[in-house]
Amino acid sequence: MIPFSPPRIDQKIIDEVVATLRSGWITTGPRTKLFEKRLAAYFQVPAVLCLNSATAGLELMLRWYGVKEGDEVILPAYTYSATANVVMHCGAKPVFVDVGQDFNIDPEEIRKAIGPRTKVIMPVDFGGWPCDYARINRLVKENSILKLFNPSTPEQQSLGRILVLSDSAHSIGAVVNGQKAGSLTDISVFSFHAVKNLTTAEGGAVALNLPPPFDNLAIYQALCVKSLHGQNKDALAKMQKGNWRYDIVEAGYKMNMTDILAAIGLVELERYDTDTLVRRKQICALYAFALKEKSWAILPLLSSADTESSYHLFALRIKGIQEEQRDRIMQKIFDQDVSVNVHFIPVPMMSFYKGLGYRISDYPVTLSLYENEISLPLFYDLTDDQVNTVIRALVNAVESEL
Ligand X SMILES: *Cc1c(COP(=O)(O)O)cnc(C)c1O
Q: Which stretch binds ligand X (CB under 6 A): 166-174, 232-240, 320-328, 377-385?
A: 166-174
262 scored as a contact of ligand X (CB under 6 A): no
Bridge partner residues of 94 (DSSP): 73
200 scored as a contact of ligand X (CB under 6 A): no
Which of 82/121 has CB closer to ligand X? 82
CA neighbor of 122 nearest in space, from 91, 151, 85: 85
193 scored as a contact of ligand X (CB under 6 A): yes
CA neighbor of 162 nearest in space, from 57, 47, 77, 73: 73
Residue 156 CA to residue 137 CA, distance in Å, equals: 16
60 scored as a contact of ligand X (CB under 6 A): no
Residue 313 CA to residue 128 CA, distance in Å, equals: 7
Give the three-class secondary structure for 363. coil
Q: What is the DSSP string of 213-245?
A: T--HHHHHHHHHHHTBTTBSS-HHHHHSTT---
315 scored as a contact of ligand X (CB under 6 A): no
Which of 54/174 has CB closer to ligand X? 54
Nearest approach, Cβ of 379 to ligand X (angstroms)?
15
* CA distances, 68 to each of 58, 61, 142, 255 (Å): 14, 12, 24, 20
390 scored as a contact of ligand X (CB under 6 A): no
Nearest approach, Cβ of 227 to ligand X (angstroms)?
14
Nearest approach, Cβ of 178 to ligand X (angstroms)?
25
55 scored as a contact of ligand X (CB under 6 A): yes
Residue 234 CA to residue 22 CA, distance in Å, equals: 21
Work out which of 72, 102, 132, 167 binds ligand X, going by CB under 6 A.
167
| Of residues 80-99, those binding ligand X (CB under 6 A) | 80, 82-83
Which of 104/191 has CB closer to ligand X? 191
79 scored as a contact of ligand X (CB under 6 A): yes
| Of residues 124-143, those binding ligand X (CB under 6 A) | 124
CA neighbor of 190 nearest in space, from 176, 208, 163: 208
Which of 20/191 has CB closer to ligand X? 191
Which of 54/263 has CB closer to ligand X? 54
77 scored as a contact of ligand X (CB under 6 A): no
Which of 79/227 has CB closer to ligand X? 79
For 364, counting Cβ atoms within 10 Å of its Cβ (0-12 exposed, 13-18 middle, 19+ buried), the class is exposed
54 scored as a contact of ligand X (CB under 6 A): yes
134-173 b/e with 16+ CB inside 10 Å = b?
eebbebbeeeebeeebeeeeeebeebebbbbbbbbbbbbb
Alpha-carbon 348 to chain mean position: 19
| Of residues 279-308, those binding ligand X (CB under 6 A) | none
Residue 84 CA to residue 120 CA, distance in Å, equals: 12
Nearest approach, Cβ of 193 to ligand X (angstroms)?
4
| Residues at the site binding ligand X, with contacts judged by CB under 6 A | 53-55, 79-80, 82-83, 124, 167, 169-170, 191, 193, 204
